[in-house]
Each structure stands twice: as structure tokens, then as C-alpha cells.
Structure 1
Amino acid sequence: MTAAFVDLVPPSLDAVVELTSGNCFHCGLPLPPTEAGKQWFVKIAQVPRAMCCPGCATVAQTIVDSGYADYYSSRTAFSNRIDGDGLVPSQLRLYDDEDSFSQFATTLDNRDGPDALLVEATLALDGIHCAACVWLIEQRLARLPGLRLANLNVAGERLHVRWDKTQCKPSDILQALHEIGYSAYPFDAVRQAEQLRKSEKRLFRQTFIAGLCMMQVMMYAAPAYFSSAGSIDHAQLQLMRWASLLLTLPVLCYSALPFLRGAWTGMKLRRFGMDLPVAIGIVAAFAGSAVATVRGSGEVYFDTVTMFVFLLLCSRYLEQMARRKAASTLERLQHALPDSATRLLDYPVTMDGEVIAAARLGKNDLILVKPGEVIAADGMLLSACGSIDVSLLTGESKPVSRVAGDALPGGAVNCGQAIVVEVSRLVRESTLSALFKLAEQSVQSKPRMAQWADQVAGWFVAALLLCALLAFCTWQWLDPVRAWPIAIAVLVVSCPCALSLATPSALAAATDRLLRNGVLIVQPHVLETLHRATCVIFDKTGTLTVGKPVLQNVTAYGHDASERYLQIAATMEISSAHPLARAIVDAIRDVSAESPALHIEAISQIAGEGVQAEIDGISYRLGSASFVAGMAGAATPAIASEDATLTPVFLGKDGEWLARFDLVDAIREDARQTVSYFQRQGKKVILLSGDESTVAQLVARELHMDDAYGEQLPAQKLAFVQALQERGEIVAMVGDGVNDAAVLGAANVSFAMGAGAALAQVHADTVLLSDRLSALADTARLGKKAMRVIRQNLVWASIYNLLAIPAAALGLLNPWLSAVGMSCSSALVVINALRLRNKI
């Protein structure tokens, strides 16, 4: 792939004109002075196009050779210039280094085939101008071998990529983007924040200039409005009109650029965007006023143009601020982890340390966290005690106490004395990093209601343009003098953006409110689907109960002491993460047993039933009664207690029942009020548990649930939910997020109790970070309010347009009053949505 040179292919006459036009066809910069052998051109659409350097020529040739020459016919701005010396920058290969690579990429646990290893990362892009850029980037990356996903977020200029590490390297992706003229680099929150600040400053300048010019134009327009006919000399009137025209030019050429560019992009892509009627109204009003000024007769609307642009920019600025407020919690997550940490060199001999980049921390490193500092990574507390603030992670407003050996999440703030922490996870694997990735995922797509609103807005714009044309033609026949201002009023008074803003603004505000309350919405449909849910299903252990059972009693059925059976059970459960297993393992530490260590020769876990192991040549089963009965015999020992919080775990061997371990897991304090809330909303509440049926029934009876099913294996839970869905039920599932992955994924909407380390294992649509079950009721309550606000916004936008457009078409509204109405309509929608950020 090389660019052609002029001295190799004689250009045609058209090509000579193109070559001597003075600007590079790719980047738009002036062409350098012509030297022998130093003029570059690329044939695009059979026409030689001049290039300013070999860099631009090579990039253009790459685009053409890849079959993407249509990019040049649909772009709305020139591409960035590419230095010829930097076509394949050596710096790109630095990202292939494992240390550099690990700073911005994450290796996924799942494999796609025996030899594939998937990796994902987020890149920031510079140079995106329009939808044509998006098309070009996606098409170019699709040709890379091993690239599995390329998802471009235009608003944030972020590219989420996933690739097979065995077939593709980070430098391949960066170089492919570089070849077509886009600068890409691993996403940097600081750099991204700087770009957002620049965008806000630019919008503020545009709004300020529009407002300043509007006030001046209003001063010149006021005498014509308030004076009687003929009281102002024609020459004076013309002078004020020319002054108004000159003052309107900065508004048209600078302040109105966002709307003009948006309209032009939509026209190039043959799509009716919301900016199109706005741009037509602005240009039509200015053009008509300019013609009237030059002729010296007719109506002028310079005051309407400046006011319209100013009010629209104010509305857009308000919308942007609302979105920033709605994303404020996510932004705090983005900046929560510190850039550096104090690593202790010889603890506990000395407290001397060195300050290093947090990204360089490794497992088992010891760090010193001073009062007020943020814990840089997940770790274990080595100091005797400590107090931390986890409000950003869980929504818990009060500091929580921790003792030596407790796990501390990265992102928590040390509220007490200086503490020493042993790092257990790398920074990129920390709780906060996993939380931020899930939070970012929530903004990758739109819910169905937002997509529907966008489609309606598109059809609305098309109908509006037709309405404006009909109004112009009708009044041209009835009263030609009024045709032009009425057509402008129709275009200006409409508010398609209110329809499009109605849903996303409300959902963004609600999502931010929930995140600050300890609820992370991962999928965009959660609030909408939960509001429509007809059935809510709860798991038991870790969901309706606190998830931290303790061993209350050991009943021995065999001839050995209960301590011996407890040792066998703890040995079988030592590698399990299930709450019941941890309770047995923790209990053995409090028992003084002098028995020799046991040696496991074989072990297997059966999901939802228990564990089978061979210890010292003897096979044992530990788990539910039905599971152990398969080895010990059919006669299950009776349980006298009817405590709803008690869960029995049995131990047996071939032909013999050995022991029963009674584990008590307290029901959450907020479980009853949560269940009661959903029942008052007319939803059926069901308990679906893998525990004994008697235990499940006792818990359901105590919480007054509608129904309960125990001894349910994961496959049976999945089949149960699917059977409900086949009957037309909309199912919401609440589980612990670890053992219920299949059923959480199958439910219409799902929630996981995702505290701490389990966060990365969550497969649900929502994570209850605060580990409070009442947060589920808060989510449903806010979801109901959000749906009400969305309906209010949609109804208001519809009523406003149904009344305002006919009024403008009938000549009852003049253009400047139409501009006020349109801007106020958009502002009202955003302000109404912001109410959702208040306390639930």
C-alpha cells in the first residue's frame, strides 16, 4: 500500500485543477510548494486528489484500498494531519509490553475456544467529527483478525474493544486507528475530564456571545416595536437594521454552529435530526431578514434569531449540567482511587516507606494509609483496629469499624488512626475498579423507552417539516406577507428535543440517585422492567438472611465425638466459598481438637446439594438430607426445632448417618418490610431456595410470603422461572449473585446482593452495593417515580407540540414568542427530571 506520485501518473486536466487548488484533500491544510518528485496525490472516486504529505497520502490510500472511499463523501470536517515520519510509531509497540498492557487492559476469565484468550480495554479517541468517522472506525477495526468487539461511544469519544490476545496485539488496534487518521490512547480519566471542561467552556462562550448580541439587537428592535407607525425616520430604521444584521452574524457563524453542524450531518446521512428544523428556522429567519434589510422594505427577525439561539443554548447548557449532575457519582468513582500509595519497606521493624504509583502495587505488599487517605487497593487490615468510610462504595453514610484480619475495599477512606494494609488485589482488580466498570457498562446502551422516543422524534421532525411547508404554501395563497414569518414560527415553536429528552434525562437522574443510595444499575432496562414486574422471587441464604450463618449445635448420630465429625466436615468445606461452608470452617477454630490432620484423597462438589469426599479411604457426604440419604440410607433423622432461621447440614457415610450441624442465619431486619412493599404493589412474592423444604416454608411463613419452594437445584430454579415466563409473568429475581448466575440471567430483571469481593462475580442487572434488602424497595419506589416523571414529560411534550404548532400555523404566534415557548418546553422537561435526584 503506497501513495501514488504525480511524476509517475500524469494527471488529467481536472486533476491539475484539483492539485493546484491549494489545500490537502485529506486534512485541509495548505499544500507545500511544488518540488520535483514531492507532490502526492491519491485517486479517490476516479479523481486524483492532492495531498500535503506522504502521511496524509498513505492514510487516504489505506481508506480507499480498504473499500471505504465513501467516508470522504459523508464527512463533515477534515481529518487530522498525519506526519509522514510517524506512520507506524514505535511508541505503539510499547503497549504490547506486559507491564504497560496490564495498566489499561483486563484479561477476561471466559475463553472462546481452547486457544483463545479474550482481553478488553477502553480507549480514548481524538479527531471524531461525525457519524462518518464512526462508520469508518468500525469498518476498519472489523478487518482486524482476532478483534471480537468494537463499541464506540461518540459522546464520550471512548472506544470499548475486546480482542483475542493470541491473534491480536494492542499495537495492532492503535496502529489501525492511526492509519486512518485517528489518535487513540488508553483511556485516561484526567485527560477525558479536561476534554469535557473544554467542551463546557466552548458552550459557555457560545451562549455568552449569543446573549450579548441578543441584548444589543433587542435595543435596536425595541423602538420599532413600541413606536407608532411613521414616527421613526426610514434612514434611522435602516441604520438599526444594518446594525442588527452585523450583530447577528457572530451568533449565526459561531454560537449557532452546534445546530448547523448537527443539521448538516443529518442531511448528509439522510436522517431527520432534531437540529434540522432548528437550523432551517435560524437560516430562514436570517436570510429573510437580510433580504429585507438590503431591499429596505419588509419584516426583519434578527431579534428572533438571536433570542432563539440564546435560549436554545441556555436549554442545551442546562441539559449538559443536568447530565453532569446525573453522572456526578460515576465521576467520583472515576477519581476515587489515589494515584500513589506509601509502601512499607521493612514492617514491623520500621515504619519507613516509599511513595510509589498505585498501579505498581503487587499482591502481599504492605501499605501505610494515613488518616483521611483513600485505601489504594483491596487488602487485609493488619493493624489492631480501624474505622473506614465506605459511602462511595455502598452508600453507607456512617463510618464502619474493622479489626485485624478484616477485608478492606479499595476506595474506602481511612477515618481513624493510621493503619497498615496488606494488598490482596491489584488496583485494576479492586472492588472500586469492578464497580466503575459495571457503572460504565450501564451507559453503553439505551433502554427501549429512550429508543422509542428517539424514533418518534425522528418521525416528528419529518412531519414538522411537512407542516411548515404546508403552512407556507397556504399562507402564500391567503396572505403572502405573512407566509414567511408563519413558516419560521412553525419551525421554531416545535420541540422535538423535549420528546427525546423526556426519557434519558429522567433515567439518568434516577440512576445517579440510586448509585448514591448504594444501588448500581448495570443494565438500562431495570427501572422500566421492575415497574412492570408481576412476580418477585427471593433466594434465601444471603438474600432474605444476612448471609453469615453460625454453627449453633452439633448432634452426633455415630459413635465418635461431635468434635471429630466437625473436623471431618470442616476439612471437606475448607475450599468452599458458600456461607454455610464458611460457618463450619470458622467453628472448628473455636474447638480444641487434638485429632491428627485429615487427608482428602478425592473431593467433588454437587451444586445445590453438597460435597462428597474420600478421607483416609472412607467416602463421606455433607449437605442436604436428600443428598446424604443417597449414601447413608433413606431414614432421615428428625429435626425437633421449628426455628425458621435454622438450616440443618448432615454428614454421613456408606450406610450410616454421622452428624447434623444446625446453622443459624438470622433473617434480615428489613426483609419483612421489603416483602410487604411488593405485596402492597400487587406483585406475587415467592421464596425459591436450595435449603430444606421445611426451612424454606418456615421462613416464608414468618415473612408472610405468597409461596415457597425448597430443595431447588440451580437447574430447577431456572426451569421454575422459565415456566413462569411462559405463563406471561414478568419475573424479578433477587439472589446472592454467586450461586444463582443462571437464574439471574434468565429473569426479566435481576438483583444481586453484591457486597465486597463478590462484585466481580455478579451476573445480575443490578447490584445492591449497600447489602441492604430495603434498597430493593427503594429501587422499585424510585422506578415508579421515574416512570411517572417520564409519562409527565412525554405528555407535556406532546400536548405542547399539539397546541403550539397549530397555533403557529394559524398565525397566532409570532417567531420570537415561538422561540420562548420552545426553549421553555425543553427546560421544563430537564428540570422535572432533576427532581428524581432528591431523597427517595
Structure 2
Amino acid sequence: MSASRCFHCNEPIPPEFNFTLDFDGKPRQFCCAGCLAVADTIIDSNLADYYRFRTEPASKANAMPADLTATLSEYDAPDVLADISQPVGELTEIELSIAGISCAACAWLIEKQLRQLPAVKQVNVNSATQRCHLTWHAAQQPLSEILSGLAKIGYQASPFIADQEEQQFKTELNHFLKRLAVSGIMSMQVMMLAVALYFGDYTGIESSHQGYLRWISFFLSLPVVLYAALPFVKSAWRGVKAKQLNMDVPVSLAIYYTFFASTYATLFNTGEVYFESVCMFTFLLQLGKFFEYRARSRARDATSNLLKIMPVSATRLIGEQQHTVSARRLNVDDVILVKPGETFAADGDIVYGQSSADESMLTGEYIAIAKTVGDNVLAGSVNHDGLLHVTVRQPLASSRLGQIITLQQRTLSQKPAVLQKTDALARYFVERLLLVAVATFILWYVWLDPERAFWVTLSVLVATCPCALSLAAPTAVTCALARLNRSGVLIKNAAVLDVLPELTHIIFDKTGTLTEGRFSVDKVEIFDSKYNEPELLNIIANLESYSEHPIARAFSNYLTQPQPLEHISIEVGAGISAHYNGQQIKVGSASFCQQQLAGSAQVFLNIDEVNVAAISLKDAVRAEVPILINNLRQQGYHLTMLTGDSSVQAEQLQSVLQFNHMVKGCTPEQKVTEINKFVNAGHKVLMLGDGINDNPGFHAAHVSVTLETGSDLSKNQADVVLLQPSIKLLADLLQGSAAAQRVIKQNLYWAAGYNLLIIPLAIAGWVSPYIAVIGMSFSSLLVVSNSLRLLKK
């Protein structure tokens, strides 16, 4: 019989748990007190429609820490608030990053909750980016109260500080949308008038009516040529000034040549007008540019998203006095206080205290690292269970985390070799096309018919405009994306479909990618026969519930019955002790439990100084991995494992899977170095990973892939996301890209063949501008139809 599911988060409800709440006349069950409290708050706030209309379950709600208010109040400090927000008159504006948004209903719930606050004037939640734009009266209500209210309905929010580069991208994206809207709307209007003019040529139309329709088309085309098409002109002019001919040169010539020719025909009532071609051509090109820019914009967004784990505030010690300051204003040799559960605000050295730190956000490895006086700590990592004083050695901007962000931006700006080849091909095409157009004009003006020279040259430019070429790849890519999406593969950067068929090297991260990425109980060895395994695991789970250590999570599912524990004591980096039924129990390392022969076990249970059990933990290899690795090896791929894990587990996995190359103990910079060795040797590289430490490597590789179970930042940043918790979808990705590549080549061959056929006919004067537009449209339609075949595969 399957376990009941939590009404709020849909996770299994442990046995013996009885958390219920009546909703819509039915008792609803919950997996924990946290989910119950969140659901109760949502319903009491008259927001119960969230549960009626949501499409995805919510994230599991953890019980709010008692000191949450004190932690959030740090954002209210004047210099901290000044760094994370912007004043707008009497109001304050801020961007928030919100964890736990799973569907559009979550965005609705957050907006409704915030709009109930009298101090809030404007709120807009984007469920895709998991961000919230908030404007409120800071004098009426502090930010900490707003964030605390969100925490009560299950969403952890923190200030998001976008860098200057992301702001620039947002501004440019808005310009793209406006130009796309102008060219699209005007194209529809002018096309309707063009249909009337074309039919009028055959059925007869009065001269005054024809002139009226032409003038209306002229005025409707003005916003297109004076605004929407300007980026092509600017790009072409920059290329000309740099003595480089790019694809925007013939595009600009075709657009404005056609427009001025049509304007001339309108003014003097002679010849044909092609205002609809100007508008449609601009719209199609803008659409392609927009999709290209969106892909690059998402990559930049991901780099900026990494900033959300950078701490906003810090507690600086001046003597015995504690001062809350902005983390960005810390200087070298400042001493900061870091409490349990807080994020380190800078790279530094511990001068007082001992604890353990979770550096998995930076290294990808989940084992906590013991820290004591003299040890170094990294900005962005989390202090587990000890109170520390840290001397700042590297401020936030120049910290290890800051260097990772800088490294990502540098690798992102590098142009892959495939794009360099495309640029070279484009320059070759443009040079020949312009020479053909000039030669055509001279031929007709000097030797053949000067009156037709202008129109014949226009036919050459229109007929050879790269519409089919510009649609050859995007349409095939769109169909391939839809096909792969149905299979559970989400491609965020369509350009990877061009690179995937050329792949030679595939690089894997270990923890969380090849393995499950979390500890689980592997083997339990019992030394006292009066205890059984479920009983001992339940005792251990009760003690570990008081710890934030990653190993503690391995026992959470074994907590079947809460036990009364007294005098609980945590020894940092060693273990936990308590009194239970008059006995002293200890759970922890071998030394903590006085165990001399540790063997392969990592956790020990000691009752009244007697060793009772030893537990071995494992990070299991994903079930589909061996078959996938074997298939990829048979297909001829060079397989590499790069892992931050420096333990013997890396060698054990290598002995089983037999990678061509393996490097353990890798820092993010070392991963980039290893990837660049392959890239610089001319190989095409794909990287599959799941952690923030993989992000620089994602940009260094030609293609980056992450799992649905990976971190939010990795999913935002990777080119491809596998939407199921299985890396076997990598095989579907490679097969789908190969099919897309075949169709793209067919489209390109057709587009090239069409140009080779139409250019001689246009030069000979046998193709009027009107026929040239029809030919260009037919060529584009054929390319689109061929691409649609991908949806049937």
C-alpha cells in the first residue's frame, strides 16, 4: 500500500505522523508541522484558491527558525538597504530572489500576499526567473516584515542584486520586443494593402485609389525603416568602418534600397511598390535576432543569478561591539562574526571558534568540512554549528566566489570555433553578393537598358536576400526543440544543435551527476543482539534531527517514532550526545565514540560507552549510468570524469565505469583548465554537471547539460536541462541533434541551390521584383515545410 502524500508538497507522510487540516470540507494530511503551518496561513489569509488552481505541488516547507526575524532584520540596516535597493521618490524599489516557486499559482499567491500589505504599492513576480520586483514605502514597513510574511506561506526570499551587465541586457531586450512589435504589426497592415494593389493590377483599379493605397503603405512603413530596421543599419555601418562586411550589409541595402525605390514609385506614380516586402523582411530578421538574443540573455541571467548566493550583510566586530554592515563594504583585516547557519561574507581565516562548513555550493561535494582556528573559509559557504570570528583576507568582490563569477563572464564572452567559421562564411557570401549587385547595375546601365538598371538590381538584391538561409536553421531547430521537449529534454540554447553532432568529448561531474548526490545508509553492523536495526536507526535519526550536518540527512527517513532526549550536546565536527531512558547515547565519528577499528563505517552509535552499531554510508551510482557510459564508449566518444571529490570513492567509481580520463579533487578553475585542453586541441566538448562549481566549466565547454535534480543556478545556466532525474536522456539529446543537423543541411542546400538558380535569371532581367518576392517566399515556405518533418520522427 502506497504511503499517503502531503497536501502541500506531495511528499510521502512518515508513519505515526498525524498533521491534519480541514479544507473544502475534507481533512487534509501533511508530512510535517512546517507544511501544516504554511497551509493554515494561506487559507486564513483568504488565498485558498492557490490550492485549487496550482499545477505543481509546492516545495516542502521547513519550520521557521526562531531567529528568522533577527536574521531578516539585518536587511533593515541603512547601509545594507541602500546597497540592495533603489529609491524612487518616496518609495523604495527592490528585486527579490524567491526560492520555492514551482508554477504560475505560486507567483499569484506571492503577489496576492504582498498586495494585502498597505505599504506595498507595486509587485510583479516572474515565475520563470523566480524573481519579484517590489515597490513599497520603507518608512511604513521594514523589509524584514515583508520577507517574514513570505516565509510564513512557504517562500524564502532574499534581495537580488543585479550587476550592471544584466541591467544592460534587460534594457536591450525591451528594445528588441518593441522593434519586433512595430515590424510585426506594420507588416500585417501593409500586407493587406499590398493584396489590394496586386489584385487591382489584374482586375483594374483607379489611379487615385492606387495612389491612396501606396501612400498609406508608405506611411505605415516609416516606423519600420526609421525604427525597427535601425539595428541592421548600425551593425552594417560598424562593420564597414571596421573594414568587415557582415550579413547586415546586404540586409540594410535590400531594406532601404527597396524602400527608397518604392517611395520613388509612389512619388512619381511609376513602377511597382514593395513596402510589404520591406516590412515582412524586417520582421522575419528581427524575429531571428530576437531568439538569438534571448538565448544569450538567459546565459547572462544565469551568471547574474549566481550573485543571489552572495551574502548581503555581515556582522563586523569593533572591539566587543557588533555592527551590521553591507557585505560589499568589508575590507581586508576586518573581523566579522559568523553565527551558526549564516553564510560567510568574505574569504578569510578563523581567529576564534570551531565549526564545520558546507562548501557544496562551491565545490559540489556534500561532506561538511571541519573548521577551527587558523583554517580558511570561503565566501558563499555556510557555517554549520559553531560561533566563529573570521578575519577578512579577500573582500567579496575578489573572493573565490567573485572569481568564479568573473571566470564565467570571461568564458561566456569567448566565441566558439563554430561561430567563427559561420562568420567567415557570411563574409564570403556578402562580398560576392555585393559584387554581383554592383556588376548587374553597371551591366544594365551602361550596355543594356539604363531605365531598367535600377529595378533589375533591386530584383537581384531581393531575390538573393537571405530569408531562406536565415530560416533554414531556426525552423529546423524549433521543430527539433519541440520533439526533444516531448522526450523530456529542454534545450535552452538552440545553437547547441549545431555543435552536438560534432562532439568528440563528453565530460561528467561525479557527485549529483553520476551519483545520486546525497548520502544514504549502505550497511548497518550491530554489535549488541538485544537491539534490532529499525530501533537503532530510529534512535540515531532522533539525535541527528538536531544537526544541520549533511550526514544527518541520511537518517531523516528512519525517524519513525520521536523519542524523549535530554541534555543534548553537539560537538562540532565530531558528533552528538544526549540522555535517553537514563542512558547516555552518542552518535558520531569513530574517535567521538571511542571506536578504534573504524573500517569503512562513517557513523557510530555508542550507548553507555559501549559501541552498539556502525553504519556505512554511500552515494549510490545512478542505475542508468553503466549502460549509458558503455553505449557512449561504443559510439566513439572520449569520456572524462572531473570531480571535486578527492576521496577514494573517485577511484572506486573509475574502476567500475572505466573512463578514458579522470581527475579528482578539481577546483572550478581546474575544471575549466582541463576542458580548455580539449577545446584548444580542436575537440568539441560537452559537460554534464549539476553544481555551482560546474558553472565555469559549463561556459568553457561547447555544450553544457544539467539534470532536473541539479541546483537552480545550474538549471538556469546550462544549455540543456534533462527534465527527468535520469542522465539516460543524454542519448536522446544526441540522437535528436543528429536528426536536426540533417534537416538543417538539407535546408541550406536548398537555399544555396535556389540562389544559384535565381541569381542568373535575375541578372538577365527575367525576374521582376514582384516575382523575386514570390520566389523568396516560396523558398522560405519549402524550408519551413521540410523542417516540420522533424515533428513526425
TM-score (norm 1): 0.48
Structure 2 residue 174 is the aligned partner of structure 1 residue 157: yes
User: 2:779 is matched with which residue: 820, 825, 830?
Assistant: 825
Displacement after TM superposition at 1:479 (Å): 1.6
- Segment drifting more, 443-452 vs 692-701: 443-452
User: 1:723 is matched with which residue: 674, 688, 711?
Assistant: 674
Give the 3 Å change call, closer, same or farther, for CA 146–105 of structure 1 in structure 2.
farther
Contact 2:488–2:723, Cα closer than 8 Å, also in 1: yes
- Segment drifting more, 565-574 vs 246-255: 565-574
User: 1:208 is matched with which residue: 177, 189, 192?
Assistant: 192
- Counterpart for residue 745 of structure 2: 791
Displacement after TM superposition at 1:321 (Å): 9.2
Give the 3 Å change call, closer, same or farther, for CA 752–150 of structure 1 in structure 2.
same
Displacement after TM superposition at 1:616 (Å): 8.0
- Counterpart for residue 224 of structure 2: 258
Larger Rg: 1
Structure 2 residue 431 is the aligned partner of structure 1 residue 480: no
Contact 1:518–1:768, Cα closer than 8 Å, also in 2: yes
* 1:385-464 matched pairs, under 5 angstroms: 460=429, 464=433
- The unaligned stretches of length 5 or more in structure 2 are 1-86, 96-118, 136-161, 238-248, 296-411
- Counterpart for residue 494 of structure 1: 464
Aligned mates of 1:286, 1:491 — CA distance in 2: 17
- Counterpart for residue 10 of structure 1: none
- Counterpart for residue 76 of structure 2: none
Structure 2 residue 502 is the aligned partner of structure 1 residue 536: no
Aligned mates of 1:795, 1:253 — CA distance in 2: 38
Opposite residue 210 of structure 1, the aligned amino acid is A
Displacement after TM superposition at 1:600 (Å): 0.6
Superimposed CA distance per residue, residues 299-318 of structure 1 (whole angstroms, 9 cap, x where no aligned partner): x642xx35xx5567667778
Contact 2:183–2:283, Cα closer than 8 Å, also in 1: no
Superimposed CA distance per residue, residues 744-774 of structure 1 (whole angstroms, 9 cap, x where no aligned partner): 5665533222349856886644332332323
Aligned mates of 1:630, 1:571 — CA distance in 2: 15
Contact 1:273–1:458, Cα closer than 8 Å, also in 2: no
* 1:355-754 matched pairs, under 5 angstroms: 460=429, 464-480=433-449, 482-511=452-481, 513-515=483-485, 517-522=487-492, 525-540=495-510, 542-545=512-515, 550-556=520-526, 571=543, 575-576=547-548, 578=550, 581-587=552-558, 589-590=559-560, 596=566, 598-603=568-573, 612-613=574-575, 637=599, 649=602, 651=604, 660-663=614-617, 668=622, 670-672=624-626, 674-686=628-640, 706=659, 712-715=664-667, 719=670, 722-723=673-674, 725-727=676-678, 728=681, 729-737=683-691, 747-754=701-708
Contact 1:737–1:761, Cα closer than 8 Å, also in 2: no
Opposite residue 287 of structure 1, the aligned amino acid is Y
Displacement after TM superposition at 1:216 (Å): 1.1
SS at structure 1 position matched to 2:780: helix
Aligned mates of 1:793, 1:657 — CA distance in 2: 72
Opposite residue 483 of structure 1, the aligned amino acid is A
Contact 2:708–2:725, Cα closer than 8 Å, also in 1: yes
Aligned mates of 1:740, 1:685 — CA distance in 2: 17
Aligned mates of 1:688, 1:631 — CA distance in 2: 35
* 1:46-57 matched pairs, under 5 angstroms: none
SS at structure 1 position matched to 2:726: coil
SS at structure 2 position matched to 1:771: coil
- Counterpart for residue 761 of structure 2: 807
- Counterpart for residue 94 of structure 1: 91
Aligned mates of 1:725, 1:629 — CA distance in 2: 43
Paired residues in the alignment total 516
- Counterpart for residue 281 of structure 1: 258
Opposite residue 470 of structure 1, the aligned amino acid is A
Aligned mates of 1:120, 1:459 — CA distance in 2: 47
Aligned mates of 1:268, 1:759 — CA distance in 2: 35
Give the 3 Å change call, closer, same or farther, for CA 289–103 of structure 1 in structure 2.
closer
Contact 1:277–1:492, Cα closer than 8 Å, also in 2: yes
SS at structure 1 position matched to 2:199: helix
Displacement after TM superposition at 1:839 (Å): 6.2
Give the 3 Å change call, closer, same or farther, for CA 763–200 of structure 1 in structure 2.
closer
Aligned mates of 1:708, 1:677 — CA distance in 2: 17
- The unaligned stretches of length 5 or more in structure 1 are 1-89, 110-118, 124-144, 160-191, 221-238, 294-299, 330-442, 604-611, 639-647
Contact 1:650–1:660, Cα closer than 8 Å, also in 2: yes
Aligned mates of 1:691, 1:557 — CA distance in 2: 31
Aligned mates of 2:524, 2:134 — CA distance in 1: 52
Structure 2 residue 770 is the aligned partner of structure 1 residue 816: yes
Aligned mates of 1:511, 1:699 — CA distance in 2: 33
Give the 3 Å change call, closer, same or farther, for CA 469–784 of structure 1 in structure 2.
same
Give the 3 Å change call, closer, same or farther, for CA 556–782 of structure 1 in structure 2.
same
- Segment drifting more, 780-789 vs 146-155: 146-155
Contact 1:260–1:275, Cα closer than 8 Å, also in 2: no
Opposite residue 168 of structure 2, the aligned amino acid is N
Give the 3 Å change call, closer, same or farther, for CA 571–800 of structure 1 in structure 2.
farther
SS at structure 1 position matched to 2:91: helix
Aligned mates of 1:148, 1:248 — CA distance in 2: 44
Aligned mates of 1:796, 1:542 — CA distance in 2: 45
Aligned mates of 1:328, 1:153 — CA distance in 2: 10
Superimposed CA distance per residue, residues 445-477 of structure 1 (whole angstroms, 9 cap, x where no aligned partner): 998867976786677556544432321212222
SS at structure 2 position matched to 1:553: strand
Opposite residue 584 of structure 1, the aligned amino acid is F
Displacement after TM superposition at 1:280 (Å): 1.1
Opposite residue 216 of structure 1, the aligned amino acid is G
Give the 3 Å change call, closer, same or farther, for CA 734–575 of structure 1 in structure 2.
farther
